[in-house]
Amino acid sequence: MTRYLAYTSPARGHLYPIVATLLELLDRGHEVHVRTLASECATLNELGLHASPIAAAIEATPLADYEGTSMEEALAKAFGTFAARARHEVGDLRDALADTNPDALLIDVTTVGAAALADAAGLPWAQTIPLFQSFTPGPGAPPIFGLVPYCLAPEPGLEVLNAPRREVGLEPLRSPDEAWRAPLHLYYTAPPLENPDLGFPPSFRFVGPGLWEPPAPAPSWIDELPKPLVIVSVSSEFQHDHALIETALLALAHDPVGIAVSTAAHDPGAFAAPANARLERWLPHGALLRRAAVVVCHGGMGITQKTLASGVPLCIIPFGRDQFEVGARVAALGAGTCLPPDALTPDSLRTAVQDAVATRFGAQKIAGAFARAGGAAAAASAIETGLAPVTATNAMSTVAPGGRR
């Protein structure tokens, strides 16, 4: 038996994709500890995992990239969030290591402070990656590989990585290519949504999307809505995507469809629901996707891949982060449509939704490819074979706070 410790950022979109992998490790007889959002710990503990919250100061530092008025400003604000969290992550993970004495670590790709400590600790470790890692900057330009901030702005991006590395006594990284320090990277996507031939390091494993969500039945009111069903969903991390909900309700209010809306980071009471719509803060997407004709969303990797894995087409209105790339790829693969936010009107959205419904065959092809990627079983096998436990007693004993190994 191996004892694993998984450490995530304070985002459901970074926790939920790895839960099926953690449960697969548990089923294989391993002991699994998790440090994540406080609100999710009770559910994880009920599933048999050993979950505790990350430091409150980390959860109190939300992403503010939506405040940027350009991509550069948005990235700068993301840098600030990662850097501010990192200052707490080092001590938080050090405490978790002392509490759990793990054999191996699973570290979210955006927790740069935790990654620095993992690199210093001498334990086998992997990074979990639930967001796109390759981007196409424009016609004729080569793909950009790597976490966006480190590629588009390498100097400030590297400083975000290097500040916690200095804190734990590691040498600074000199280029973005050196950022991939972990011996294993679990990339929660698969072809054709991602292209493995873009020069990914050999440590990358394309394991397919993580599809877990908290167990919940379909709501009792779902059968009262007209058919076909349109699901509208926005980001669980706040951004200015309330316009997606407002426009969808206006666009589809008089159409012969039912509308189920997950408002997530927004108050459902802030929207006027027409007679053919129901709004809830959270909806069980898995239970509803079996009934859906199309999903209208922001293009987050979680809802996008969950939808495609069900063979359901998408109408994507991206607002930031990796969502523009997600939308472009879904449209290029013939599995949905992508409407820029500055073109969002009730008429344009209604047309985009109608066009998306006609792409179901493309979505079903991607569903088959995702199923062949292996999912949680493939991820767990990669962990078991790629993270052989060290033989010495917890290697953290050789890393003093602020000192070099």
pLDDT digits (tens, 9 = 90+) for 171-224: 999 887 788 889 999 999 999 999 888 878 899 999 999 999 998 888 989 999
Task: Spell out the domain ranges in the chain.
Answer: 3-208+373-398, 220-369
Mean pLDDT score across all residues of the chain: 88
Please determine, for residue 315, whether its predicted confidence score (pLDDT) is greater than 60. Answer: yes
Structural class in CATH, domain 3-208+373-398: alpha beta
- pLDDT at position 138 is 55
Q: Decide whether 3-208+373-398 matches 220-369 in CATH topology.
A: yes
Please determine, for residue 154, whether its predicted confidence score (pLDDT) is greater than 70. Answer: no
- pLDDT at position 321 is 76
- CA dihedral 30→31→36→39, nearest 10 degrees, is 110
Q: For residue 55, which of 79, 81, 90, 103 has the smallest C-alpha distance?
A: 90
Q: For residue 230, which of 169, 189, 278 has the smallest C-alpha distance?
A: 278
- pLDDT at position 244 is 95
Fold of 220-369: Rossmann fold (3.40.50)
Higher-scoring residue by pLDDT: 7, 266: 7
Please determine, for residue 124, whether its predicted confidence score (pLDDT) is greater than 90. Answer: yes
H, E, C per residue of the chain: CCEEEEECCCCHHHHHHHHHHHHHHHHCCCEEEEEECHHHHHHHHHCCCEEEECCHHHHCCCCCHHHCCCHHHHHHHHHHHHHHHHHHHHHHHHHHHHHHCCCEEEEECCCHHHHHHHHHHCCCEEEEECCCCEECCCCCCCCEECCHHHHHCHHHHHHHHHHHHHHCCCCCCCCHHHHCCCCEEEECCCCCCCCCCCCCCCCEEECCCCCCCCCCCCCHHHHHCCCCEEEEECCCCCCCCHHHHHHHHHHHCCCCCEEEEECCCCCHHHCCCCCCEEEECCCCHHHHHCCEEEEEECCCHHHHHHHHHCCCCEEECCCCCCHHHHHHHHHHCCCEEECCHHHCCHHHHHHHHHHHHCCHHHHHHHHHHHHHCCHHHHHHHHHHHHCCCCCCCCHHHHCCCCCCC
How many beta carbons lie within 10 A of that of residue 215, not counting itself? Answer: 11
- pLDDT at position 96 is 98
- pLDDT at position 140 is 53
Taking the C-alpha atoms of residue 302 and residue 210, their distance in angstroms, rounded to an integer, is 8
| pLDDT single digits (tens) 66-117 | 666 776 677 777 788 889 999 999 999 999 999 999 999 999 999 999 999 9
Q: Which amino acid is at 80?
A: G
Please say whether the beta carbons of 266 and 234 come within 8 A.
yes
Residues 6+ positions from 359 with CB-CB distance below 8 Å: 313, 334, 335, 336, 337
Query: Phi/psi of residue 66, each to 5°?
Result: -65, -15
- pLDDT at position 71 is 67
Q: For residue 261, which of 270, 59, 46 has the smallest C-alpha distance?
A: 270
Instruction: HSE, CB side, 13 Å, CA atoms: give it for residue 113.
Output: 23
Percent share of the chain, pLDDT over 70: 88
Please say whether the beta carbons of 150 and 176 come within 8 A.
yes
